[in-house]
Amino acid sequence: MDTHYRPLDIENKWYPYWMNKGYFRSVPDDREPFTIVMPPPNVTGVLHMGHMLNNTVQDILIRKARLDGKNACWVPGTDHASIATEAKVVQLLREKGIKKRDISREEFLKYAFEWKDKYGGIILDQLKRLGASADWERTRFTMEDSLSEAVIAAFVDLFEKGKLYRALRMTNWDPQALTVLSNEEVIYSEEKDTLYYLKYPVADDVSQSISIATVRPETILGDAAIAVHPEDERYAHLIGKTVLVPLINRPIPVIADTYVDREFGTGALKITPAHDPNDYEIGQRHQLETIDILTPDGRLNETAQLLVGEDRFNARKLILPMLEAGGYLVKTEEYLHKVGRSERTNAIVEPRLTLQWFLRMKDFAQKALDAVRQDEIKFHPPQFVNMYQNWLDTDHVRDWCISRQLWWGQRIPAWYYQPNGTDNPLIFVAKTATEALEKARIQTGIPNLQIEDLYQDEDVVDTWFSSWLWPISVFDGFKNQEELAYYYPTQVLVTGWDIIFFWVARMAMAGYEWGPALLPGHKKGYMPFKDVYFTGMVRDKMRRKMSKSLGNSPDTLALLDKYGADGVRFGMLSSAAAGNDIVFDAPFDVKTNKILDESQLCDQGLRFCNKMWNALRLVKQWEIVPNPDTADAAEINQLAIQWMEERLAQLQEDQESSISQFRLSEALTDLYRFIWDDFCSWYLELVKPVYGRPIDRPTYDRTVDFFSDLMSMLHPFMPFVTEEIWHLLRSRPEREDCMVTPLIKHKKVNPVLSEDMAILNKIVAAIRELRAEKQIALKESLNVWWASSTKADSLLTQTGALPLVMKMANLAALKPTEEEPAGCITLMADTEKLFVAFEAEINIEEEREKVLKE
């Protein structure tokens, strides 16, 4: 056997082995279910650190449940990620010389699905490398037929319940993706900009003017008014007057509105209703015209009159010299403000008036809020409840804009009928065109209405409108409730806190919305999951969130190759208490994306594997005989075994408690320390025969039992190394594997034993310390006395204790004494006093003082 543990071959061996035995598969039976639905990664995604952390946690919980005899079901899948994927496909088509606008929707979707089949879902294979024991036969995709049907069913149902409406609203427009975004998809961050002060001349007296401040001078072309505060004396004389928009001399009124902050800028505000949400509202109040000067992709249109066709940012640059030349530019200032960018494309979001579908959120929010408040859904760590409440607070919650101007997604099942000359179309929402037509015929009273007379909504629904159904739709719950009844609610959701609003809250909403109808009288409740484990964000050394766009994520596959899946799992987890962001310190070269140095945490995990591997080597090389080699050995072994049984019982208890509270890193750290310190450094050293001597069969067997049990306990965390060692420890029957063999519960028998051993350990440590201090070689055996006292006497005279200390500290003799023998150093070990024979000259005084001090 190699002195070093080599993870790669071993990991490559076990994963297919488990798969072939069908251990990941779950079908409903009479066992208690333990269900996790995997947060579906983007179909375009590649494995990054966040996924590894996330899925490691899920795998631990699933493997633990499986070992506990539950029917563990982990459903994997991918998300179609409409905006991101569509952008990617558009890009690829462009490279082929195909423009999206030149092809039909059907052609586009054909390309998109082709691309998805070819490249999509790589990430799921990468998860296998990590050891993820998901039921791959259940792999779902949010845009496969069955799941799309669920989306359509949900849409139709909500429409019929009156919870959906279509309205012209100020929305967040992504000029790059050419679609509207929900509020949650806009990320605001502080950016440096310039504040321009511009002068608007008064129409009937050009010598007078009013100045405003704006960061978007190009939008003056869409101005509809200048607003001042009604009580602002500086501008009272101008209210009601007409001023001229610079450069184009369009007359606009000066109006009074309390929205205006007198302290800001000049105290006068330009009103551009088409391009600012606040301005839009003011415009509505004052019946101002909405002058849209931008094209969907963010260029100035004909209405702008000037700079037509220029991109909005370019227009800003170009308009400045014009304003300056005209004498309209008063001054400029550096200005720090929040800028909203598209979550997916990073383009600066443009407020835009568009016709969209919205979902009324108030009732949904209330139910989702109650579920958490009433502890039907528990958050780990609990402080995320605050964040959740804050967002779902029914006073602020805003309706969810669910339509997107894309093709990659479920097309909105709404058909419109709008005969010439009518203002608003009639809307027919139905699962199919045929049903819509049926409805239309009845409602319009035109029996021979044809499908060609209707037109379907061009938009698709938001990706999250399919994701929120995930815990139901992966079991085809909208069609058939057989599996749903068994697996729902899922046990725990493991996800990053960054999608608490996007996803967690909305799944809760969906659960309570459809649960009662789909599973009437379901005893287990309608929450989609009972617990939510929020993982932290994985950050780099500069504490930045690891992301593809920053390029600061290490090459995860290289990490797996280098440290093994077990090592990486150890590394990810050992510093990842729930909800705490973890700084993953794997230095890497941004340019080559290569790891430069070792990641300490993963390296520690690999070294841990190596430690266990070598413990295995030690055990395997022992020669086994029926009976103990010596009387001392028999005594030591007996004591060691009893102690180990006691410690294991305690460990097991602690593990159950930690894991049930989702303290996974604590559970792993405890195991690490137990295996390294208690098992290897102490227990194995105790029972280890002296060189060349054999071990007795009973001790050997118990040792293998202990080792196996530790492997079982560690298995959920580090599945590969534990399976390997578990098998090498002893030959196993055919259907027995570490992964599926439950651990027998150890019982605590003699709790005092742990304390006694701790004191013996301290005595040994004190003698070792003395050796280190006095440079006494370990080979040199020492004579030691202990000061007689009831405690030390009872401790050291119990079976095995004396030879144990002598073996571990390498003593020639260990005896009680009433008074201090001559030529000795006095030691304190815990409360026990020891005298160690020491022949070299020593300064008795000095030593005495030291002892006194202690």
Partner RNA sequence: GGGCCUAUAGCUCAGCUGGUUCAGAGCACCUCGCUUACACCGAGGGGGUCGGAGGUUCGAAUCCUUCUGGGCCCACCA
Task: Looking at residues 355 to 384 of the shown chain, list those that interact with RNA (rule: CB under 7 A).
Answer: 383
State the minimum distance, in angstroms, from the CB of residue 250 to RNA.
18
Q: Which is nearer to RNA, 68 or 585 (CB)?
A: 585
Residue 48: strand, helix, or coil:
coil
Only one of the segments 74-82, 91-99, 270-278, 729-737 lies at the binding site for RNA (rule: CB under 7 A); that segment is: 270-278
Q: Which is nearer to RNA, 93 or 602 (CB)?
A: 602
Q: Which is nearer to RNA, 390 or 443 (CB)?
A: 390
In the list 68, 107, 292, 685, the residue contacting RNA (rule: CB under 7 A) is: 685
751 preceded by a cis bond (ω within 30 of 0): no
- Residues 12-51 as x/- pattern, contact with RNA by CB under 7 A: ----------------------------------------
State the minimum distance, in angstroms, from the CB of residue 417 to RNA.
35
215 belongs to the binding site for RNA (CB under 7 A) = yes
Q: Which is nearer to RNA, 439 or 746 (CB)?
A: 746
> Of 68, 87, 84, 75, nearest to 24 (Cα)?
75
Task: Yes or no: say if 586 and 559 are a contact pair by the CB < 8 Å rule.
Answer: yes
501 belongs to the binding site for RNA (CB under 7 A) = yes
* Binding footprint of RNA, residue count (CB under 7 A): 77
Across the beta sheet with 455-456, the strand order is 426-429, 414-417, 455-456
Strand partners, 582: 538
Token pair of 383 as six digits: 């402080």
Only one of the segments 276-284, 478-486, 512-520, 526-534 lies at the binding site for RNA (rule: CB under 7 A); that segment is: 276-284
- Alpha-carbon distance 675 to 198, whole Å? 72
State the minimum distance, in angstroms, from the CB of residue 385 to RNA.
9
Residues 239-268 that bind RNA (CB under 7 A): 259-265, 267-268
State the minimum distance, in angstroms, from the CB of residue 265 to RNA.
3
Residues 553-612 that bind RNA (CB under 7 A): 575, 577, 580-583, 585, 600, 604, 606-607, 610-611
What are the angstrom distances between the C-alpha of 48 and each of 144, 632, 832? Answer: 25, 55, 54
Task: State whether the Cα torsion 621-624-628-630 is positive or negative.
Answer: negative
Residues 154-193 that bind RNA (CB under 7 A): 183-184, 188
349 belongs to the binding site for RNA (CB under 7 A) = no
Q: Which is nearer to RNA, 261 or 458 (CB)?
A: 261
Q: Which is nearer to RNA, 160 or 755 (CB)?
A: 755
State the minimum distance, in angstroms, from the CB of residue 712 to RNA.
19
Q: Which is nearer to RNA, 388 or 514 (CB)?
A: 388
Q: Which is nearer to RNA, 66 or 663 (CB)?
A: 663
Q: Which is nearer to RNA, 5 or 200 (CB)?
A: 5
Residues 710-729 that bind RNA (CB under 7 A): none
Task: Yes or no: say if 118 and 42 are a contact pair by the CB < 8 Å rule.
Answer: no
- Residues 767-806 as x/- pattern, contact with RNA by CB under 7 A: -xx-xxx-x--x----------------------------
State the minimum distance, in angstroms, from the CB of residue 829 to RNA.
11
Q: Which is nearer to RNA, 2 or 734 (CB)?
A: 2
Q: Which is nearer to RNA, 341 or 617 (CB)?
A: 617
Residues 380-419 that bind RNA (CB under 7 A): 383, 386-387, 390-391, 396, 398
214 belongs to the binding site for RNA (CB under 7 A) = yes
Q: Please compute Rg for the chain using Cα positions.
A: 36
State the minimum distance, in angstroms, from the CB of residue 539 to RNA.
8
Token pair of 209 as six digits: 């003017």
748 belongs to the binding site for RNA (CB under 7 A) = no
Q: Which is nearer to RNA, 149 or 685 (CB)?
A: 685
Q: Which residues contact 828 (CB under 8 A, 6 or more apart)?
A: 766, 834, 851, 854
- Alpha-carbon distance 96 to 61, whole Å? 45
Q: Which is nearer to RNA, 264 or 455 (CB)?
A: 264
Q: Which is nearer to RNA, 434 or 681 (CB)?
A: 681
> Which residue type, as a one-letter code, is found at position 618?
L
Token pair of 839 as six digits: 């022949």
In DSSP notation, 356-421 reads EEEE--HHHHHHHHHHHHTTSSEEESTTHHHHHHHHH-TTT---EE-EES-SSSPBP-EEEE--TT
State the minimum distance, in angstroms, from the CB of residue 268 to RNA.
7
Residues 277-316 that bind RNA (CB under 7 A): 277-278
Q: Which residues contact 372 (CB under 8 A, 6 or more apart)?
A: 379, 385, 388, 389, 508
489 preceded by a cis bond (ω within 30 of 0): yes
What are the angstrom distances between the C-alpha of 215 and each of 197, 269, 270? Answer: 9, 12, 11
- Alpha-carbon distance 572 to 601, whole Å? 7
Q: Which is nearer to RNA, 181 or 454 (CB)?
A: 181
Task: Yes or no: say if 216 and 351 are a contact pair by the CB < 8 Å rule.
Answer: no
State the minimum distance, in angstroms, from the CB of residue 507 to RNA.
17
State the minimum distance, in angstroms, from the CB of residue 173 to RNA.
15
In the list 673, 730, 745, 774, the residue contacting RNA (rule: CB under 7 A) is: 673
Q: Which is nearer to RNA, 379 or 486 (CB)?
A: 379
Residues 54-73 that bind RNA (CB under 7 A): none
What are the angstrom distances between the C-alpha of 653 and each of 218, 663, 815? Answer: 68, 13, 38
- Residues 97-116 as x/- pattern, contact with RNA by CB under 7 A: --------------------
> Which residue type, as a one-letter code, is found at position 96?
K
State the minimum distance, in angstroms, from the CB of residue 503 to RNA.
13
State the minimum distance, in angstroms, from the CB of residue 396 to RNA.
5
- Alpha-carbon distance 793 to 778, whole Å? 26
What are the angstrom distances between the C-alpha of 803 and each of 634, 644, 806, 811? Answer: 10, 17, 5, 9
Q: Which is nearer to RNA, 156 or 602 (CB)?
A: 602
- Residues 689-708 as x/- pattern, contact with RNA by CB under 7 A: -xx-----------------
State the minimum distance, in angstroms, from the CB of residue 622 to RNA.
8
Backbone angles phi, psi at 139, to 5 degrees: -55, 125
State the minimum distance, in angstroms, from the CB of residue 263 to RNA.
7
Helix (H) or strand (E) holding 455: strand 455-456
State the minimum distance, in angstroms, from the CB of residue 483 to RNA.
34
Across the beta sheet with 529-535, the strand order is 378-380, 529-535, 490-496
Q: State the first-to-last Cα distance of the chain, in angstroms, to the nearest integer.
A: 47
Residues 607-666 that bind RNA (CB under 7 A): 607, 610-611, 614-615, 617-618, 621, 661, 663, 666
State the minimum distance, in angstroms, from the CB of residue 201 to RNA.
19
Q: Which is nearer to RNA, 547 or 669 (CB)?
A: 669
- Using CA atoms of 566, 570, 571, 577 in order, give the dihedral in degrees to the nearest 10: 150
- Alpha-carbon distance 442 to 135, whole Å? 47
- Residues 812-831 as x/- pattern, contact with RNA by CB under 7 A: --------------------
> Of 794, 729, 726, 717, nearest to 755 (Cα)?
794
Residues 507-546 that bind RNA (CB under 7 A): 543
Task: Yes or no: say if 37 and 758 are a contact pair by the CB < 8 Å rule.
Answer: no
> For 821, which DSSP code?
P
State the minimum distance, in angstroms, from the CB of residue 697 to RNA.
18
